[in-house]
Amino acid sequence: MVKGIMDPISTLVDSGSSKNFLDLKFAQEQNIPLTKLVNPRTVIAIDGKEIPDKIKHKATLEVEVEGWTFDVTFFVMDLGDTNMILGLEWLQEADPDINWKTLEISWKEKPITAKAGKELPIIPEEFLEFLDVFSEELFKKLPEHRPFDCNIDFKEDAELPKPAKVYPLSPIESRTIKEFIDQELVDGKIRPSKSPIASPCFFVKKKDGSLRLVTDYRKINDITVPYQFPMPLQVELVDQVKNAKVYSKLDLRWGFNNIRIKEGDEWKTAFRTAYGIYEYLVMPFGLKNAPAVLQCMMNHIFRHLLGVTVVVYMDDILIFSEKEEEHAEHVKEVLRILRENNLYAKLAKCEFFVKRVIFLGLVITPEGISMEEEKIKAITEWNAPRKIKEVQAFLGFVNFYRRFIAEFSKIARPLHDLSKKETKFEWSQECQQAFEEIKKRVCKNPVLIHPDPDKPFILETDASGVAIGAILNQKGEDGYLHPIAYLSKSYNDAQRNYDTANKEPLAIVESLKHWRIYLEGTIQPITVFTDHRNLERWKNAETFNRRHTRWHMELASFNFEIHYRPGKMSMKPDALSRRHGHADIPNPEQIMIAAEKFKGFKANIELDIISIIREGLLEDESLTTLISSTQNKEDLPPSIKKQYDKYEWKEDLLWYEGRIVIPENKEVKLAILEMHHDNPIAGHQGQARTLELISRRYYWLAMKSQVNKFVESCEVCQRSKGHKQFAPLKPLPIPQKPWEDIAYDYIVKLPESQGLDSILVVIDRFSRQAHFIPCLESTNAEGVADLFNQEVWKLHGLPKTTVSNRGPTFNSQFLRALYAKLGIEPKFSTAFHPETDGITERTNQWLEGFLRSFCNYRQDDWVRWLPNAEFCHNNQVINLRLRIQTATGGGHASGKGSG
C-alpha cells in the first residue's frame, strides 16, 4: 500500500536491482509529486547494456508492507507492466525475513527504519458468521427487483435528446470497454439496447491506474423529474449518537449498483459504444435521482433501527451503542439486514468497536462532537506573513468575521499598523501574538457554524497559480453569512500545469467533492461565487474536453448555480488560495479576455465598505451623541426628538433621509468617490453629476466640496475631456412627451472596431435619453431606417418630429418619402450653425470624452464600451432633478457606481 492510494499496488521485490524504481506512467496517473534531478542518472540493464532514456525524476513515498510503513525514495522511469520495484537499497534498509518457499516477507521485530502502519481491517470473531456479507463475488450477481427500483420519469412534453456520438478510444480503452461489456453481460447488469437516446460514454482512470466506464447522463438529467425524497439532516443524525460509548461503521459496496432500474425504464440508461448500444439493469453512477433513491431504500430497510442504534447516510452506516456489551448484537442485527436484502459491505472501509469515528465530516467520540481537523486546517496552518501584502491578505480574510470576534480591533491593531503602506515591515513578537490569537478565535464557535440543510448554501471559490481556496457559508440566525468550513489546497504536479480555464472549474469541482456530505442532493440550489466570468456558462456548455466531461459527471448529483463576482468582493477564498505557505511556483500567464477590456474598472467592494462603516460609526466620537439619541428617540422629550426625525438607526448603520451616514474615514470616502466617478458605469462625470450619484446612497458633511476637489484633480478627465464652448442660444420648441421629438447625428471616422467605424447617436429631446448605435459611415438611407427600426422605434414607437443636420443620408429622397408615409415631420439644423441642435452636439462631445477615458491605447475597442456609455448617460439627472430613466417611464437605474 502507498499513502494517498487506496488500493494495493503490484510491486516487485528484486534484490538484483541496486535501487528502488517507480513506473513513470503509473506516477503520472496517480498524480504523484515528482522531484527533478539536478544530474540525470544512467541505468545499466542486467545484460550490461545502457538504457537509452536517462532518469530525470525521483519521488519519495510512504510504503506499507505487511503492516509496517517506510519512507522510500524511488527513481522514476518506464517499467512496462510493473508499477514499482523495491530493490537492494530497500532490502538492506528494512532487513526483512524472506521465506523463499512461500515467497513471503515478515519481521520478527519492528524494523528500525519503519513506522507503525495502520492495520488492515479484519472481521472480529463475533461476526465471522457474516463473512458472506463482505463477499465481492456475491456482489457481482444481479440484484432482484424491489419496491425501491429507480424509475426515470421525463418531464411532460420534454424533447428527447439527439443520439450521441461515439467518443474515439485508444487501443487500451477499446480492449477495456470490450472486457467491461463482456463481464457485465455475464453478470447480467447490462444488456443490448435499441434505445433512441443512448448517452455517450468515456473512461476515467481510477487511483490504481485501471479504467472505469462513465456515462454522460447530463441531457437525460435535464429532462428528468427530480425525486423529492428528503436527504437526512446532518444535525439530526449526529444528535442521535450523542449518548453512545462505542461505534462501528460499515460502507456499502457500490451502493448505486445494488438497486435495479424500474422495468420499462432501462432504455433511458442506454450508452453508446463502438461495439453497440447497451442499457443498464442496475442503477449506474451519474443519474440525477440516484442519491435520493438509495437513501429511500436504506431508510426503509433500517427503519426500525434508525435513531435507535443506527444512522444512515446513503451508503455509510454508523452503528452506535450506549452499552459496550450490547454493541455486538446491534452490529449483528445490521449485518443480518444486509444479508436479507442481498447488500454487501466493503471490508477495507469498515471499522468495528471504536471509540472515535469520522462520520459525515465530524469526529464523534463519547466525550462529544468536534470538527474534523481538515475543516480548519487552512486557517491553523497559515504561515506568518513575510511582507505587507501578506499581512493585508490575512487581514482581508479575517475581516469578514470581525463581528463574531470579541475585541477584534484591539487584537488586530498591531497587524493593521503594520499593513500601512508607509510602514516598514518588521514582524515583531506583538504581531506574532496578534496573528496567533486571531487564528485561534476565528476557528472557535460560533465562527464555524453547523450546516443547516434547510437553508441554501453559498460556496465561494478561487484558484490562484499555486492553490485552490474555498469557503462554504450559510446565513445564521442573525441573517448574516457565517462560514461552515474552509478549504485551502495546493495543486498536485499535474494540476499545477493546468491553465486558467481548467484551474477555475477545478476549484468548484474540488470544493463540491470536499463538502459532498453537505452539498450532494440539496433541494435548494447551491450558489457558487467565482471571480471568473466565463464559468457562468460552464455548467450548460455544449462541448467539453475529456477532463471537463468527467467533472460534469462527478457533479451530476449536485444542484448548483454558478455566479460571477469580481475578485475584490471574494477576498476570503482568494486569500486562502494565495497563502505563501503553498509552493511559490509560477503559473503560465493566461489571458482569457483582453486586458484593455477591464482598464479602469474598480470593483464595487460595497460589502467590505459597509462593514468598515459599521465599525467606524462606533469609533467616531463626533457621532456618539447623534447615534445614541437616534437609537433612543422614543425616550427623548418631543422638542428634542424632532431634531432627530430625519435620522434612523437600522442594520447597525446610521441613516439620514434614507442615506447612509459616513464616519470620518478618509479611505472609505476615497473608495466611494472612486466607485462613483472612475468606474466605467459612472463614466467620469462632472462635479454635479458625480455628487448626485453619491448622494443617492451616502451622506457626510462637506461632501460637495470633497467631490468637487476629487473631480477637479482627476487626471483622466483633464486629459480626455474638452472645455465647454458657449454659443448663442437658438432653442427649438420644447417637446411635451418622451420620444415624440428626437434628434440624431453621426460620429464618424473612428478607428475600426469589430468592422465598424461610426456611431449613430439618437436622443429624445424631452428626457435626454439616448441610444448609441455602432454602424458604418457608408450606411445608406435604407440602412439608417433599419437601424431606427431595430434599435429605437421598437422600444419607443414612432416620433412626431426629428431633428438632424443636412447630410445626404439624413436628407435623402428615401427617408423623406418614408417619413411622409409614417407621419414623421423632419427638421434640419441650420447650415454652419450646429448650435441649433445643441443637445446632440453636447451628447456627442460627452460620448467622445467617455470613450477617450476608457478605450485602449489603439482606440479600437470602442464598440465594447458603448453599452456602458449608454447606461451611464441615461443614469443622469437633468433639469429640475428629473431622472432620465424616470422621465421615460423606467425605474431607478442600478449598477456598480450608479447608486
Confidence class of residue 333 from pLDDT cuts 50, 70 and 90?
A: very high
C-alpha cell at 633: 428617540
pLDDT of residue 773: 93
| Residue of 880, 442, 339, 399 lying closest to 611 (CA atoms) | 399
The SS3 assignment for 164 reads coil
Give the pLDDT of residue 488: 65
Number of neighbouring beta carbons within 10 Å of residue 594: 11
Q: How many angstroms separate the Cα of 421 from the Cα of each of 9, 254, 392, 416, 603?
A: 54, 57, 10, 10, 21
Which three cell numbers mark 281?
439493469
pLDDT at 153: 92
The pLDDT, as a whole number, for residue 274 is: 86
Q: d(Cα 312, Cα 780) in Å, to the nearest integer? A: 73
Specify the DSSP element, H or E, that contains 865. Answer: helix 862-874
- In order of their start, the domains of the chain are 11-116 (2.40.70.10), 171-370 (3.30.70.270), 374-442 (3.30.70.270), 458-591 (3.30.420.10), 606-720 (1.10.340.70), 741-887 (3.30.420.10)
DSSP one-letter code for 169: -
Lowest-confidence range among 295-309, 447-461, 580-594, 604-618? 580-594
CA-CA distances (angstroms) from residue 743 to 229, 788, 876?
Answer: 61, 12, 18
Burial class (CB in 10 A: 0-12, 13-18, 19+), 645: exposed
Top pLDDT among 301 and 80 is at: 301
User: What pLDDT, on a 0 to 100 scale, did the predictor assign at position 601?
Assistant: 36
Mean pLDDT of 212-236: 83
Per DSSP, what are the bridge partners of residue 742?
764, 802
Select the more confidently predicted residue: 565 or 513: 513
Residue with more model confidence, 862 or 102: 862
**Collapsing DSSP states into helix, strand and coil, what is residue 319?**
strand
Which set of grid coordinates corresponds to residue 645?
426625525
Whether 419 shows a pLDDT value over 90: the answer reads no
Give 376's pLDDT tier (boundaries 50, 70, 90).
low
| Residue 395: closest CA among 379, 419, 422 | 419
Q: For 204-222, what is the mean pLDDT?
A: 75
Structural contact between residues 215 and 284, judged by C-beta atoms closer than 8 angstroms: yes
pLDDT at 597: 36
Distance separating alpha carbons of residues 609 and 600, to the nearest angstrom: 20
Residue 342 has pLDDT above 70, yes or no: yes
How far is it, in rounded angstroms, from Cα 238 to Cα 316?
Answer: 13
Instruction: Write out pLDDT tens, residues 171-184.
Output: 778 888 888 888 88
Query: What whole-number distance in Å separates Cα of residue 282 and Cα of residue 279?
Result: 9
Q: Any idea which of 45-54, 187-196, 292-301 has the lowest mean pLDDT? A: 45-54
* Residue 450 backbone phi and psi in degrees, to 5: -75, 140
- The cell for 547 is 477532463
Whether pLDDT at 306 is above 50: yes
Q: What percent of the chain lies above the pLDDT cut of 90? A: 14
Distance CA 324, CA 683 (A): 72
CA neighbor of 848 nearest in space, from 828, 862, 861, 837: 862
Q: What is the mean pLDDT of residues 213-242?
A: 82
Query: Which 8-state DSSP code applies to residue 558?
Result: B
Of 234-248, 263-277, 763-777, which gets the smallest average pLDDT?
234-248
Give bridge partners of residue 310 from the DSSP assignment.
Answer: 306, 319
Percent of the chain predicted with pLDDT > 70: 77
Which alpha helices (DSSP H) does 657-753 contain, by range?
666-675, 687-695, 703-712, 715-720
Cβ contact 834:805 at 8 Å:
yes
The enclosing H or E element of 796 equals helix 794-796
Residue 84: how many CA atoms within 13 Å on its side-chain side? 24
Q: Place 856 in a pLDDT band, splitting at 50, 70 and 90.
A: low
Specify which residues 579 forms β-bridges with: none
Question: Does an H or E element contain 137, and which?
Answer: helix 136-139
DSSP string, 195-263: -TTPBPEEEEE-TTS-EEEEE--HHHHHTBPP--PPPPPHHHHHHTTTT-SEEEEEEBTTGGGGSBBPT
Instruction: Indicate the pLDDT class of residue 830, thresholds 50, 70 and 90.
Output: low
Q: What is the pTM of this model?
A: 0.40
Q: Would you state the pLDDT for residue 575? A: 56
Task: Assess contact for 1 and 69: CB atoms under 8 A.
Answer: no
Q: What does the pLDDT average to over 289-300?
A: 92
Q: How far apart are CA 733 and CA 800, in angstroms?
A: 13
- C-alpha–C-alpha distance, residues 330 and 322, integer Å: 11
**Residue 758, SS3 per DSSP:** strand
Average pLDDT over residues 451-461: 86
Choose among 697, 707, 696, 703: nearest CA to 674: 707
∠ Cα 549 554 555 (to 5°): 95
Place of cell 437600522: 650
DSSP string, 368-412: EEEE-HHHHHHHHTPPPP-SHHHHHHHHHHHHTTGGGSTTHHHHH
d(CA 274, CA 278): 11
**Other beta carbons less than 10 A from residue 754's beta carbon:** 11
Q: Is the pLDDT of residue 888 over 70?
A: no
- Closest Cα partner for 345 from 366, 317, 313? 317
Q: Contact at 8 Å (CB) between 775 and 781?
A: no
What is the C-alpha to C-alpha distance for residues 229 and 232, in angstroms, rounded to an integer? 9
Rounded distance between C-alpha atoms, residue 405 and residue 444, angstroms: 9
Radius of gyration of the chain measured on its C-alpha atoms:
35
pLDDT score of 598: 35
**pLDDT in the model for residue 239:** 67
Please tell me the least confidently modeled range out of 533-537, 600-604, 751-755, 780-784: 600-604
Length of the chain, please? 899
Question: What are 812-824's pLDDT values in tens digits?
Answer: 777 787 888 788 8
What pairing do the DSSP bridges indicate for beta strands 68-77 and 21-23? parallel
Question: Averaging pLDDT over each range in 402-416, 507-521, 825-839, which range is the top one?
Answer: 507-521
Report residue 536's pLDDT band, with 50, 70 and 90 as the boundaries. Answer: confident
Q: Which residue has the higher pLDDT, 550 or 244?
A: 244
User: Is the per-residue pLDDT at 553 higher than 80?
Assistant: no
- Round the average pLDDT of the chain to a whole number and report it: 78
Q: Considering Cα of 839, then 845, then 848, then 852, what sign does the dihedral take? A: negative
Q: What is the average pLDDT across 261-282?
A: 92
pLDDT at res. 2: 67
Give the pLDDT band of residue 890 (cuts 50, 70, 90). Answer: low
User: What integer pLDDT is reported at residue 544 of this predicted model?
Assistant: 58
Q: Sorting pLDDT into bands at 50, 70 and 90, what band is 446?
A: very low
Cα 601 to Cα 684, 688, 875: the distances in Å are 12, 22, 18
Buried b / exposed e along 404-432 (16+ C-beta atoms within 10 A): bbeebeebbebbeebbeeeeeeebeeebe
Distance, in Å, from the CA atom of 302 to the CA atom of 287, rounded to the nearest integer, reads 24
Number of Cβ atoms within 10 Å of the Cβ of 832: 5
Task: Indicate if the pLDDT at residue 31 is higher than 60.
Answer: yes
In the chain, the N- to C-terminal Cα span, in Å, equals 61
Tell me which amino acid residue 425 is.
F
Give the Cα separation of 513 and 558 in Å (integer).
9
Q: Would you state the pLDDT for residue 868?
A: 85
Q: What are phi and psi of 332, to 5 degrees?
A: -60, -40
Q: What is the DSSP letter of 777?
A: T
Euclidean distance between CA atoms 496 and 857, whole angstroms:
34
pLDDT: which is higher, 650 or 831: 650
Question: Shortest CA distance to 562 belongs to which of 469, 487, 451, 459?
Answer: 459
Three-state DSSP string of 447-507: CCCCCCCCCCCEEEEEECCCEEEEEEEEECCCCCEEEEEEEEEECCHHHHCCCHHHHHHHH
pLDDT at 335 over 80: yes
More confidently predicted of 769 and 443: 769
pLDDT band at 550 (very low <50, low <70, confident <90, very high): confident
What is the pLDDT, as a whole number, of residue 317? 94
Where does residue 485 rank: exposed (0-12), middle (13-18), buried (19+ CB within 10 A)?
Answer: buried
Residue 360 has a pLDDT of: 79
Q: Identify whether the C-beta of residue 592 lies closer than 8 Å to the C-beta of residue 503.
A: no
Q: Please state which of the ranges 115-124, 305-314, 463-472, 597-606 shows the lowest mean pLDDT.
A: 597-606
Q: Is 741 helix (H, G, I), strand (E, B) or coil?
A: strand
Residue 635 or residue 880, greater confidence: 635
Cα torsion through 346, 351, 353, 359, rounded to 10: -120
39: confidence class by pLDDT, cuts 50, 70, 90: low
Tens-digit pLDDT profile for residues 711-770: 877 766 765 565 554 444 456 677 888 888 998 888 888 888 888 899 999 999 888 889
Residues sharing a CB contact under 8 Å with residue 744, sequence separation 6 or more, in sequence order: 760, 761, 762, 763, 802, 803, 804, 810, 840
Mean pLDDT of 194-200: 90
